Amino acid sequence: MPSTPTIDSAARALAVSQRLLVLSGAGLSAESGIPTFREAQTGLWAQFSPQDLATPEAFAANPERVWAWYRWRRTLIARGGVNAGHRAIAALERHMDVVIATQNVDGLQSTAGSRDVSELHGNIWIDRCSECGDERRQAVAEADEQAPIPTCQSCGAGMRPGVVWFGEMLPMAALERARAELDRCDCVLVVGTSNQVYPAAALVEMAVDGPTPVIEVNPQATAVSPCVDVHIAEAASMALPALVDRLDAMRTAR
């Protein structure tokens, strides 16, 4: 993608930054073939009901159905892998400290090489015991939707996917870390989130209300778009590599 005025503005903001907070959502992984949640037609919540699949009550009522859905999603993630957007965010570490707080449960940002990722909504590759809380990380691989419900090696109870469901608390350490980083960082990059799910959306709102420059990468406008410093209305896999190229060029020219 050639350099555009918005890429240039964003690159200028990043060039004077030493510490970047990235707030990412499902759009970042969309080009890995992993559906987002709220987009009309293609979004997961246009096809499935969150009440049936992403609540503690749904799991209690029908754990087989919930596991089948999460295993299907594991397969999509294993097939999709990282894309150019994840890689570009990892590459930003060549230029500055980068701290990431993601709503994505796919683990792809860490796979891409990012070293500091807080997973606000958990991780789909973790099985967690419903009783004792013991956790087991699964290898990234296509999953058998019909496999039996995994059982805990410590206490024998059924395991659940290690993600945050509607009505549950976010992992406190991840959320606190993201809040603290809002005060420490000198630039915020918001990528691929509709900014509709709280408390993650509140992080974006706090960023926009604060003094730190905010760059948003999203082909669609969101509620915060009119208030951010730069809105790059492009797909993450196009915009982010272009941003890194621009930063690299600025460094060479210095």
Q: Does 54 bind ligand OAD (CB under 6 A)?
A: yes
Give the tokens for residue 167: 């009505």
- SS3 percent helix, strand, coil of the chain, rounded to 5, is 40, 20, 40
Question: Residues 1-40: x/- map of binding to ligand OAD (CB under 6 A)?
Answer: ------------------------xxx--xx----xxxx-
Give the tokens for residue 217: 């990468």
Amino acid occupying residue 165 = W
- Rounded Cα distance between 192 and 118, Å, is 16
Question: Residues 171-190: x/- map of binding to ligand OAD (CB under 6 A)?
Answer: --------------------
Task: With beta carbons less than 8 A apart as the criterion, state whether 77 and 124 touch.
Answer: yes
Q: Is 231 a catalytic residue?
A: no
Q: Does 243 bind ligand OAD (CB under 6 A)?
A: no
Residues in the chain: 254
- Rounded Cα distance between 137 and 127, Å, is 6
Q: Which residue lies nearer to ligand OAD by CB, 45 or 97?
A: 45
Positions in 90-149 near ligand OAD (CB under 6 A): 103, 121
Contact residues for 59 (Cβ-Cβ < 8 A; gap 6+): 66, 130, 160, 165
The number of residues that bind ligand OAD (CB under 6 A) is 27
As measured in angstroms, the least distance from the Cβ of 79 to ligand OAD is: 17
Among 181, 189, 222, 241, binds ligand OAD (CB under 6 A): 222
Applying CB under 6 A, which residues contact ligand OAD?
Answer: 25-27, 30-31, 36-39, 43, 54, 103, 121, 164, 166, 192-194, 196-197, 217-220, 222, 235-236
